[in-house]
């Protein structure tokens, strides 16, 4: 199944590229996207194409903070019908629960989840932004955009009750650190295992100023009536579950199946009908994470191995030779040279 995202994720792209002196149409065509696809925000485009478009645009336009700048043209309304349900939820926690349930309407390859385990400090929690693709590719601008838009959404939904404590990004800074600090108005930590907003746990109990139960029920009824949860396609859900748990727990089929409320044999049958398997998906997710940690961060390779759930650095070296045909250190040198 193709991993897609609504074209609303590129709202403001054409205007930003024009302001930077570029040609949006040429950039879109380079990634097999049409200018017309931006005119209808409900159009589904490959998530891979969006990610590569953002990386290419930032590089060719000499705009390292492109993801942050693009976020300024976006807010909760990019989520379409889901935005109405979120805005009228009684609390932040309820809004996040709805987001988890319906976010597939915006993209079947991203997730935004509350993580209470291993908190970054007393009374704190992470709001984690995850991207799951079958391909391994740099996604620094996509992570910047995803967290920046999420930050703006929470500020819009919660108002003064939103107290961002820190930002975690899973790559080295692509723009000056001061640019990130100015945008988020909070400490920004790079080379982290996950992309996340760090907030007080009390935020989840905060009421939403625009809460309206009648409007929320109308919105969720509309979503249930017009959009079917793609339960028959479990591959993207398995990728997201693996991405969330990579390195934290043994990534065997039993805990992943339990997280999806399935028996392991049932999960395997679903995946086989989609032309894949659990082992193949686990290998894809681990390969993608390895490319991100090695190519986009300065993490020591021993730490990378641990984050991937590998027993030791030598296992990382063997895996990289199988995936990429070279050692992790050679990969890091090659990618840095290419990005210089």
Q: Is 1 a residue whose pLDDT tops 70?
A: no
Run of H or E residues at 127: strand 124-131
- What confidence score (pLDDT) does residue 135 get? 65
What are the tens digits of pLDDT across the range 266-285? Answer: 889 888 988 889 999 889 88
Residue 64 DSSP SS3: coil
| C-alpha–C-alpha distance, residues 139 and 285, integer Å | 14
Average pLDDT estimate for 139-165: 92
Average pLDDT of span 173-202: 95
How many CB atoms are closer than 10 A to CB 116? 10
* pLDDT confidence of residue 183: 97
Distances (CA, A) of 178 to 142, 151, 184, 186, 235: 19, 17, 10, 11, 39
CA 305 to chain centre: 21
Mean pLDDT value across residues 40-44:
88
Question: Which position has the token pair 């705009």?
Answer: 63
| Predicted pLDDT of residue 232 | 47
Length of the chain: 340
Largest pairwise CA distance in the chain: 58
What residues have CB less than 8 Å from 121, skipping those under 6 apart? 165, 198
Average pLDDT, integer, range 308-323: 90
- Return left, alpha or beta for 309; rule: phi > 0 is left, psi -120 to 50 is alpha, else beta: left
269 CB-near residues (< 8 Å, 6+ apart): none
Distances (CA, A) of 31 to 42, 43, 131, 310: 19, 16, 19, 34
Q: What is the pLDDT of residue 22?
A: 96
The pLDDT of residue 249: 55
pLDDT digits 0-9 by tens, 247-272: 665 678 888 887 776 788 888 988 89
- H-assigned helices in the chain: 13-19, 24-30, 47-60, 66-71, 81-87, 92-102, 140-158, 177-184, 213-226, 235-245, 253-259, 264-273, 278-296, 301-307, 313-324, 328-339
User: Residue 130's beta-bridge partner residues?
Assistant: 111
pLDDT of residue 231: 45
CA nearest to 47, candidates 188, 143, 114: 143
What integer best gives the mean pLDDT of the chain? 88
- Token duo for residue 234: 């479990």
So where are the chain's domains? Answer: 66-205, 235-339
Q: In 10 A of CB 243, how many CB atoms?
A: 22
Instruction: Give the pairing of strands 110-115 and 44-46.
Output: unpaired
Residue 251 C-alpha from the chain's centroid: 20
- Residue 331, pLDDT above cutoff 60: yes
- Strand 188-189, strand 195-200: pairing: unpaired
Give pLDDT, residue 230. 45
Nearest to 332 by CA among 284, 288, 281, 297: 297
Q: Taking the chain, what is the end-to-end CA distance rounded to the nearest angstrom? A: 35
pLDDT at 98 over 90: no
Q: Report the CATH superfamily, name and number, of domain 235-339.
A: Homeodomain-like (1.10.10.60)
């Amino acid at each position: 199944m193709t991993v897609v995202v609504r074209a609303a994720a590129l709202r403001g792209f054409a205007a930003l590229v024009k302001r930077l002196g570029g040609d949006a149409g040429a950039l879109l065509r380079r990634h097999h996207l049409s200018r017309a696809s931006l005119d209808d925000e409900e159009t589904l485009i490959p998530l891979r194409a969006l990610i590569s478009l953002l990386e290419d645009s930032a590089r060719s336009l000499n705009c390292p903070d492109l993801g942050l700048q693009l976020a300024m043209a976006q807010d909760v309304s990019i989520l379409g019908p889901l935005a109405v349900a979120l805005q009228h939820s009684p609390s932040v926690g309820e809004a996040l629960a709805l987001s988890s349930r319906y976010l597939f309407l915006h993209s079947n390859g991203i997730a935004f989840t509350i993580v209470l385990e291993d908190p970054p400090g007393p009374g704190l929690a992470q709001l984690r932004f995850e991207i799951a693709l079958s391909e391994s590719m740099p996604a620094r601008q996509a992570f910047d955009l995803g967290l920046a838009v999420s930050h703006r959404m929470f500020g819009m939904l919660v108002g003064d009750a939103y107290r961002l404590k820190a930002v975690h990004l899973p790559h080295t800074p692509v723009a000056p650190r001061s640019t990130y600090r100015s945008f988020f108005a909070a400490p920004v930590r790079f080379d982290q295992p996950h992309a996340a907003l760090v907030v007080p746990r009390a935020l989840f109990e905060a009421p939403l100023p625009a809460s309206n139960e009648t409007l929320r029920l109308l919105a969720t009824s509309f979503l249930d009536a017009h959009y079917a949860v793609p339960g028959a396609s479990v591959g993207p859900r398995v990728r997201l579950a693996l991405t969330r748990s990579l390195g934290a727990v043994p990534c065997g089929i039993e805990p992943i199946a339990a997280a999806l409320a399935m028996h392991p044999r049932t999960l395997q049958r679903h995946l086989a009908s989609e032309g894949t398997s659990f082992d193949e998906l686990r290998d894809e997710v681990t390969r993608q994470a390895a490319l991100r940690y090695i190519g986009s961060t300065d993490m020591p390779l021993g730490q990378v191995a641990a984050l991937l759930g590998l027993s030791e650095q030598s296992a990382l070296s063997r895996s990289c030779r199988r995936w990429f045909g070279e050692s992790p250190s050679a990969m890091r040198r090659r990618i840095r040279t290419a990005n210089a």
